[in-house]
Structure 1
Amino acid sequence: MTPELQTPRQTDTVLHTENLDIFYGSFKAVRDVNIGIPKNAITAFIGPSGCGKSTVLRCFNRLNDLIKTFHINGKIFYKKQDLYASDIDPVEVRRQIGMVFQKPNPFPKTIYDNIAFGPRLLGYKGDMDELVERSLKNAALWEDVKDKLKALGTDLSGGQQQRLCIARAIAVQPEVILMDEPCAALDPISTLKIEDLIQELKERYTIVIVTHNMQQASRASDYTAFFNVQANDKGQRTGYIVEYDRTEAIFQSPKHQATQEYVSGRFG
């Protein structure tokens, strides 16, 4: 049975899906995703490994296009525009919907050139020095690096590298920032700094974060979608959304037993 569209009680959504099924070849990896992502809020995707959280996330900026066997049924809309329409340029999609990955991945370039790379590629005509400074300030990194912009980004600490990657995403002026386990490779202090940064960024951006960390989801997000996985008779595992609501509802009064078991650590 296809669930109804699960959208928090907020009409201003930036992304939404309709009856989304995600395939790799003939294998259905995720089924029946109907979800709306609110503007200027932090939405967390939680659930066990293999439930499709990152797969759905990467559909939002068409990164899955890089996988030859990938295809979808259903629709994904960004501000009412079909992201998978034939006339849509995936490169432009990725400019407006940026991505920060699990492991910090600064380019082997200077800190300055890490930030300037995307804008240069897109033909930015403004003041590059001002853009670099603003992006680093927005990522809470400027004070750490303002005197060493010619140093390699790879020489920064892990937490600083991740903030550099966030600044790099910000520099191309997206509306949405997707974050796939952005703190998984970081120590607890760096993790808290990233979480504080995410809270500041939601004033200007819509953020979707995948996390296995229940405490992080409960601390850092406004809305939470719980994904689960179901195996068929061939042993193939397909992900689906169990429940989507405000974060406090998911963690304090979930509607489904599976959600309750997962957020309380009794899952499985």
Structure 2
Amino acid sequence: MTYNNSKNQLNNVTLNPEDNAVFNVEGVKVYYGSSLALVDVYMKIPEKQIIAFIGPSGCGKSTLLRCFNRMNDLITGARVEGRLIYRDRNVYDPNINSVKLRRQVGMVFQKPNPFPKSIYENIAFGPRANGYKGNLDELVENSLRRAAIWDEVKDKLKQKGTALSGGQQQRLCIARAIAMKPDVLLMDEPCSALDPISTRQVEELCLELKEQYTIIMVTHNMQQATRVADWTAFFNTETDQHSKRRGKLVEFSPTEQIFNSPQTKEAAEYISGRFG
């Protein structure tokens, strides 16, 4: 169930029979201009589980996360090579509609970013703009309920989302993503700006949401990975022949295994606190 980032080992890795791979990452490289930022990533993302990306700053965690819904397209000079298969389509096929892709693969950012609109409109705006024909009131309520924030905001739906606390804003942003009926949720350090109580609420929410969604989360908090993730990917940096730093995937294992018996020296040293 464990594999290192090697092309030769990719086909030797099998998920549990009941696990379907939502994404197959096959030799993905990411460049920013002429600089190689992330090198040759191979991994399979299982369905309806939480996958945590850990590692020191600058190792490519968020860079890879943005590949899953082509958010790197919005960064000047960014270029992706390799194949990233979502279900049965290459995300980087020229015929893929990136806007539609982002409806299926939603994203929650490090800093809560509610729209400067009412709580209700934060949820309703996206579906309405995309031609939603159902009952918007029901959609708003259901999304807020599933994000575990309905009871806190049900009497103030006309108030601005930006007036909520940081933890509430983040759960509002999760509800906003859920309202688009995605298949996958990407989370880029969703708790880094939150207090411990709000962090616990978001973590508990993630554990509930994985019953319906695949969640891929970048975190600098290794304890958070042990609390919520089914699988953990450890990234690190290396120096090329020109003394330039680039990120790499070192190990991808079930979380309990990578923290208790990592298969690589780099992962063992990072988890034990020897660097990072």
Paired with 2:145 and 2:87, the residues of 1 have a C-alpha distance of: 28
Paired with 1:98 and 1:113, the residues of 2 have a C-alpha distance of: 18
- Matched with 1:21 is 29
Superposed, which structure 2 residues align to 1:1-268 within 5 Å?
2=7, 4-5=9-10, 9-10=15-16, 11-267=19-275
Paired with 1:45 and 1:91, the residues of 2 have a C-alpha distance of: 25
Structure 1 unaligned residues grouped into runs of 5+: none
Amino acid across the alignment from 1:5: L
| Matched residue SS, 2:262 | coil
Aligned identity (percent) is 59
1:3 positional shift: 5.1
TM (normalized to structure 1)?
A: 0.97
Are the equivalent residues in 1 in contact too, given 2:15–2:46 (CA < 8 A)?
no
| Matched residue SS, 1:126 | coil
Question: 1:175-218: per-residue Cα shift (whole Å, max 9, x none)?
Answer: 00000000000001100110000000000000000000010011
Paired with 1:16 and 1:237, the residues of 2 have a C-alpha distance of: 25
1:2 positional shift: 4.0
Paired with 1:112 and 1:202, the residues of 2 have a C-alpha distance of: 24
Question: 1:46-98: per-residue Cα shift (whole Å, max 9, x none)?
Answer: 00000000000000000000112111111001002111111110000100000
1:232 positional shift: 2.3
Structure 2 unaligned residues grouped into runs of 5+: 1-5
For these two proteins, the number of residue pairs brought into alignment is: 268
Amino acid across the alignment from 1:82: N
Question: 1:4-39: per-residue Cα shift (whole Å, max 9, x none)?
Answer: 328562340101110111111211100110011110
Question: 1:142-199: per-residue Cα shift (whole Å, max 9, x none)?
Answer: 0000000000000000000000000000000000000000000000110011000000
- Matched with 2:3 is none
Paired with 1:5 and 1:178, the residues of 2 have a C-alpha distance of: 23
TM (normalized to structure 2)?
A: 0.94
Paired with 1:66 and 1:206, the residues of 2 have a C-alpha distance of: 24
Alpha-carbon RMSD: 1.2
| Matched residue SS, 2:10 | coil
Paired with 1:82 and 1:193, the residues of 2 have a C-alpha distance of: 35
1:233 positional shift: 4.1
Structure 1 runs (4+) deviating above 4 angstroms are: none
